[in-house]
Amino acid sequence: MHYNLVKASNRRYLEELNNRVHEMPVVYDSVNIIQETEWVINKPIYELIKTCMDNDFNLGQLPVNPKSMELPPKPFDIKTNKEALTKWKREAQHVHKSMGQAMSKFIQVRLIMGEADVLLDKGGFFYPYQLDFRARIYPKPSLLSPQSADYSRALLKFKFGKRMGNNDSYSVFAIAGANLYGEVDKEELPIREQWVKDNTDKIIASADKPLEETWWASADKPYCFLAWAIEFRDFVNSGYSPDFITTLPIQADCSNSGLQHYSAMMRDEIGGKATNLVPSNKPNDVYGLVAQKLIMKLRDMKDEPLAKKWIDYGIDRKLCKKPVMCLPYSLTKFSCRKYIEDHMKKQLNERGVSIEAFRVSEKEDGIFKATNWLTPILWESINEIIVGAKEIMQYLKNIAKLVASENLPVCWTSPNNFPIQMLCYEKESKRVKTQMGDSIVKLSIAHDTNKISRRATSLGICPNFIHQLDGAVLQLCVVKAKELGVDNFSMIHDSFGCVASDSHLMGKALREAFCEVYEKDVLQKFADEMYAMLSEKNQKKFPTMPKKGTLDLDLVKQSVFFCI
């Protein structure tokens, strides 16, 4: 089967990429290196998921057949009690909605398990990879892959592993397990390692009998944690032997990579500290900082009933995480409110956290009113903590609007010399009539015009600019790690995976790659390319770059919590 290395349909763009292959060796080398990793199916995880699916058992948040979901029982007086009927309808409506949402996830599980079934007894298999127009790397298969859902990633492990080796490798392995469970993942590293020692019996019991000892199912990433627990059990059974061969991918996740990129390009000391670009004894948590700021604001609103309700409900880092995480990607207030609502409903479904305090009537649960009220306060809290990123985002948007006003696509070159072309055309709707049987059906079909959309270009520039930096760092990291001796790669944009005994090499390569990308002024380079595209009239309107700070990026090489 033939497919393009870059997922794009513009022939002129693809031809330009083909003509400039020699200018971007890091891009091509990184893809080829990642494709050399050989995988196998993790059989214990496969058998557990298959058992759960056969019995409609949603252990570890596994999507199950929505047909097995039951409607709430009807009240005995439903025909005569209007209030009871209204309440039952509201509860039943929530179940019907959940069934609809669950269906697509259930189908996805079945398709992923179908692929796993085909590959189960294969000696090993490889993934082909593609780039998008920002040079981000993705596996071509979209279901069972190292970049898919928790249970999908847990189904995969490397075919060839390495000796566990010294105590440092075991420490990395243990900390990874604590991170996956999520109970102490923001604590100092010795505390995380101690957590594993304190819970060794539970971990081994979960690995031995996952259907009976279901403690593992409460983890943040339950199936990946269980896969880790099984590997940990085997390591313990070997007598903690340094000759134990580990084949499990251990992921190191960057601490909000979007804000890290903004802080690095502007040498922002405050943002750099908040996102762990500088060394510290304990990880800094930007989500927690925003949550603290939000709580302070709510406590100052003594006469506001909703403020007390939100404090009683519980404001924590998890509620603030998605809005803060998405800020570098042009977060809107509309999306911010939706993320808060999604978090509340997830807490209700998974942990039974009540939302009754917000209820205003039998017909309305009050979530919309409560989240709509909280959104501007959270928005203000985010802007007070994350100052530097907002300035750069506005700067990028202003430049993009100028380019789009001349009906030009925003085109620039990534740090690894990959040409990026951002095309955001305005849409035009056409009404089409067609006959189906005896009926006339009218459809609206949207298609691209020849005019560049200023609004879409403005909204798209920030996420696309950050994503191309993610891609550049990952590509350079892979090439450097290969030179240092890393053989297996499990990469997810800003998450870097290898076996535990190679983690120190991957960490060294990543930090060197990050610093090397920012040795040059990536923002100034982008601005120069944009300025050259503009007419003389718009060049005079070109915005002034925000003032840079004095952050020493070499400190990244000493920061343990930069990516762990």
pLDDT tens digits along 121-148: 888 999 999 999 999 999 999 899 999 9
pLDDT band at 276 (very low <50, low <70, confident <90, very high): very high
Residue 550: helix, strand or coil by DSSP?
A: coil
Res. 353: pLDDT tops 80: no
State both tokens at 350. Answer: 């998974």
Res. 223: pLDDT tops 90: yes
477 with 344: CB under 8 angstroms?
no
Res. 562: pLDDT tops 70: yes
Report the DSSP beta bridge partners of residue 130: 138
pLDDT higher for 107 or 350? Answer: 107
Geometric angle at alpha carbon 539, from 534 and 545, rounded to 5°: 110
Give the chain's largest Cα–Cα span: 78
Alpha-carbon span 68 to 106, nearest angstrom: 11
Count of other CB atoms within 10 angstroms of residue 26 = 20
pLDDT digits (tens, 9 = 90+) for 8-37: 888 899 999 999 999 999 999 999 999 999
User: How would you list the strands of the sheet with 38-41, edge to edge?
Assistant: 125-126, 38-41, 156-158
Of the candidates 285, 296, 349, the residue with the CA atom closest to the CA atom of residue 318: 285
Alpha-carbon span 215 to 208, nearest angstrom: 12
Mean pLDDT rounded to a whole number for the chain? 91
Alpha-carbon span 294 to 315, nearest angstrom: 8
287 with 321: CB under 8 angstroms?
yes
pLDDT of residue 291: 94
273-282, 295-304, 437-446 — which is least confidently predicted?
437-446
Q: Which helix (H) or strand (E) holds 453?
A: none
pLDDT digits (tens, 9 = 90+) for 36-79: 999 999 999 999 999 999 998 889 989 888 877 777 788 888 77
